[in-house]
């Protein structure tokens, strides 16, 4: 999962750079408004790429990692339905 998210992030950031550089190196010679539009699109890509890269999937365990306190871990596991309550 992490490798796929990293690959998507790098592709998105690469696309952002390509848009920005091509807008001012090539496209501005024909149309400045189109170059500005390309830069606006390039400006939106980095925050979206950061959200994609930091998204957690259902297989990623970060919210239910053991805390180190056995009583607390047992209580949370019981609350989540992972273990049967001790009677």
Place of tokens 């992972």: 82
Q: Angle CA(6)–CA(7)–CA(12) in degrees, nearest 5?
A: 100
Give residue 79's pLDDT.
78
For residue 8, pLDDT beyond 80: yes
Burial class (CB in 10 A: 0-12, 13-18, 19+), 40: exposed
pLDDT band at 86, cuts 50/70/90? Answer: low
Grade residue 58 by pLDDT with cuts at 50, 70 and 90. Answer: low
Whole-number Cα distances in Å, 11 to 27, 52, 65: 21, 11, 31
Average pLDDT over all residues of the chain: 84
Higher pLDDT, 32 or 65: 32
């Amino acid at each position: 999962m992490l490798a796929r998210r990293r690959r998507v992030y790098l592709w998105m950031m690469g696309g952002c750079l390509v848009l920005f550089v091509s807008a001012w190196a090539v496209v501005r010679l024909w149309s400045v408004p189109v170059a500005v539009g390309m830069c606006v699109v390039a400006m939106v890509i980095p925050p979206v790429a950061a959200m994609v890269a930091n998204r957690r999937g259902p297989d990623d365990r970060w919210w239910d990692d053991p805390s180190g306190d056995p009583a607390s871990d047992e209580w949370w596991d019981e609350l989540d339905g992972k273990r049967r309550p001790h009677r």
